[in-house]
Chains A and B, each alone.
Chain A
Amino acid sequence: MKYEPVIGLEVHVELATESKIFCGCPVVDSVEAEPNIAVCPVCSAMPGTLPVVNERAVEYAMRVGMALGCKIEPVSIFARKNYFYPDLPKGYQISQFEEPLATNGEMLIETEDGEKVIRVLRAHLEEDAGKLTHVEGASLVDLNRAGVPLLEIVSQPDMHSAAEARAYAENLREILRYLGVNSGDMEKGVIRFEANTSVRPVGTEKLGIRTEVKNLNSFRSMEDAINCEIARQSKVLDEGGEVDQVTMGWDEEKGQTYVMRGKEDAHDYRYFPEPDLPPLKVDDAWRKRVRADLPELPRAKFERFLADFKLSEYDAKVLVSDRAIAEYFEETVNNGAKPKAVANWMTGELFALMNQTEVSIDEIKVTPKALAELISLVSEGKINKNTAKEVLGEIFKSGKNPQAIVEKKGLAQVSDTALISGFVSSVINAHPDEVTSYRSGKTGVANWLFGQVMREARGRANPQILREELMKQLDG
């Protein structure tokens, strides 16, 4: 039978605050930092300590909520989620349950069948747990991550393929990076997914029984795990069986989901309101202040780049995919360069240099002003395009001003017709066979001769004049 998958995603996002959500310990790199260097009596659950909410964590959560078009609730309530596990010092996680901070938003994604709205059910604040390392016969507990602010964003089951889930997740990551609330650095585990998947016969309405796959740390494993579940569940149903409502893990090596616990072992978290924290109140003034600080989001920027700069959809998409890149682009344009030329130079040469050297846009020595100058040297005919590539490579290394490099290295374009004509003559004299074959109809040879003349001119000849002079002498 043909089945339609129904997928919902829960995304756990670490909020990039300076300090933890309920205490003043720093948020440190959970991969690099030495264990247990950022832990205090509060986040290690010493008796008698009390949590106090980090204002910035709330504001970051509000930013995300607003960017997703959620309602920011004037009152939300922290709750205790009770379970025992060694990475959770208090024996409960402070989370939000019945009354989350943000509710009912949506996100636009692009699918094979065009644009689609994915509804967002809620986004709530909670604290992260510590990290366990399993050693021979024991487990080691590092609490650096315990108490790092997390935002859990829960979608409605509105996605119908792993590709749609991925598009949603990638869009979300882009938005988080724009908002400056998360580095998007998946390898560090700052964004984690849980995928709820069920299947139903195509054309039916009733939802099938769903499974939940936890701890997915990359787009790839999330996509693979969902595809694996779709195939597995479809097979179970085809064979006349029933899907079990289970919680699963993902075995990266085997490329398979596996059952972590069955329904009978389902956790009973016994949520109740956190007595140590009063309800979280967000008044109009606070909400307005946060909203006023929201940056332009990728979607709006994309539309504006199309309209204002007449970019192709492809260029606009590449340029808005990262806020720093988009800002670099605009600044270069503001320095007087033509948008299309800036887009070409950035997505071509500049990105190539950045990839080769693994340097990000924030770190490069080429300022937007220098790039704009370089582009105008080309458009004014002072240097040709190939020389400009060379100059860009030089600026990339030294950070020097393009004009200075051109002057110092004598790279200025030669537009002197007589001089170029001389180069053409000497090439033609040196290659009588090629000239004969051109004249006998092999017109392609002209390109080769063009290259030879350019070489003679050490790459600096104005290509238009060169072509004219070459054709004049060949055809003349």
Chain B
Amino acid sequence: MPLKLEEVDHIAKLARLDLSAEEKARYRVQLSDILDHIAKLNELDTTGISPTANAFQGTSATRADKVHKSLSTADLLKNAPDADKNQFKVPAVFGEKK
């Protein structure tokens, strides 16, 4: 079942992607194929199987509240495309938060 174009628009917006009309048309087909493929799982009979949130069913591993060494600020910023005042520098964002 093909995705609606508006749905492609919505997903692109959530992913902060600026797509051309040609790209939208192409991804619409590709995304629809992926969804159709995954939808095959719906053919399985899952009656009596409780939903699971994780493939690991063991007990949860936790760590003690101990401090470990962090990266040096210089190392941390090594891969940053841009940095200033010991911080990552990114294009301006305004107003909206979460």
A132-B85 Cα distance, complex, nearest whole Å: 12
CA distance A123 to B97 in the complex (A): 22
Using Cβ atoms and an 8 Å threshold, which residues of chain B touch A52? 61-63
Contact call B86/A35, Cβ cutoff below 8 A: yes
B20 contacts A by Cβ under 8 Å: no
Whether A179 is near chain B, meaning CB under 8 Å from some CB there, is: no
B92 at the interface (CB under 8 A from A): yes
CB-based contact B76/A39 at 8 Å:
yes
Instruction: Tell me which residues across on chain B come within 8 A of A347, comparing CB atoms.
Output: none
**What's the Cα separation between A140 and B67 when bound, in Å?**
26
- Residues of B within 8 Å of A23, CB to CB, are 68
Of listed B56, B62, B68, residue having the most chain A CB within 10 A? B62
One digit per residue, 1 when the CB lies within 8 angstroms of any chain B CB and 0 when it does not, for chain A 19-54 equals 100011110000000111111110010000000111
Query: What's the least CB distance linking B80 to chain A, in Å?
Result: 9
CB distance from B74 to the nearest CB of A (A): 10
Inter-chain CA distance A273–B57, complex, in Å, is 14
Interface: B84 (CB within 8 A)? yes
The answer to whether A142 and B87 have CB atoms under 8 Å apart is yes
CA A37 – CA B76 in complex, angstroms? Answer: 9
By secondary structure, the A interface counts as loop
Residues of B contacting A249 with CB < 8 Å?
A: 95, 97
Interface of B, helix, strand, loop or mixed by DSSP:
loop
| A379 to B98 Cα, complex, angstroms | 61
B77 nearest CB neighbor, chain A only? A36
Q: A138 and B89: CB pair below 8 A?
A: yes
* The one of B53, B58, B63, B98 that contacts A53, using a Cβ cutoff of 8 Å: B63
> If the complex has contacts A36-B73, A85-B97, A214-B97, are A18 and B65 also in contact, measured as CB distance less than 8 A?
yes
The docked-state distance in angstroms from the alpha carbon of A188 to that of B91 is: 27
Taking CB as reference atom, which chain B residue is nearest A286?
B62
Q: Are A215 and B97 within 8 A (Cβ)? A: yes
Minimum CB distance partner of A268 in chain B: B14
Taking CB atoms, residues of chain B closer than 8 Å to A140 are 84-85, 87-90
Residue of A nearest to B14 (CB): A268
B59 at the interface (CB under 8 A from A): yes
Given contacts A141-B88, A278-B61, contact A260 B96 (CB under 8 A): yes
Which range holds the interface residue count of chain B? Answer: 35 or more
B16 at the interface (CB under 8 A from A): yes
The answer to whether A18 and B67 have CB atoms under 8 Å apart is: yes
| Complex contact B96–A261 (CB within 8 A) | yes
The count of residues in chain A whose C-beta lies closer than 8 Å to any C-beta of chain B is 58
B71, B85, B90 — most chain A CB neighbours (10 Å): B71
Q: Which residues of A contact B84 (CB under 8 A)?
A: 135, 138, 140
**A window 134-180: CB within 8 A of B:** 134-135, 137-143
Residue of A nearest to B57 (CB): A278
Whether A44 contacts B92 in the complex (CB less than 8 A), given A18-B67, A270-B14, comes out as: no
> Contacts A17-B65, A55-B64 given: A134-B92 contact, CB under 8 Å?
yes
| Interface membership of A83, Cβ < 8 A | yes
Is residue B34 within 8 Å, beta carbon to beta carbon, of the partner chain?
no
Q: Which residues on the A side are within 8 Å of B69 (C-beta)?
A: 24, 40
Could you tell me the distance between the alpha carbons of A357 and B43 in the complex, rounded to whole angstroms? 73
- Chain A, range 98-142, C-beta contacts under 8 Å to B: 99, 129, 132-135, 137-142
Contact call A86/B90, Cβ cutoff below 8 A: yes
Residues of A within 8 A of B98 (CB): 83, 85, 129, 214, 267
20 pairs, CB–CB < 8 Å, chain A vs chain B: A17-B65, A24-B63, A26-B67, A40-B69, A52-B62, A54-B65, A55-B65, A57-B65, A83-B14, A84-B15, A86-B90, A86-B93, A134-B94, A135-B84, A140-B90, A268-B14, A270-B14, A277-B60, A278-B54, A278-B59
Residues on B facing A (Cβ under 8 Å): 10, 14-16, 53-71, 73, 76-77, 82, 84-98
Known: A24-B67, A134-B94. 17 other contacts (CB 8 A): A23-B68, A34-B86, A36-B86, A36-B87, A39-B70, A52-B62, A55-B63, A86-B90, A129-B98, A137-B92, A139-B89, A141-B87, A141-B90, A260-B96, A274-B54, A278-B60, A281-B60
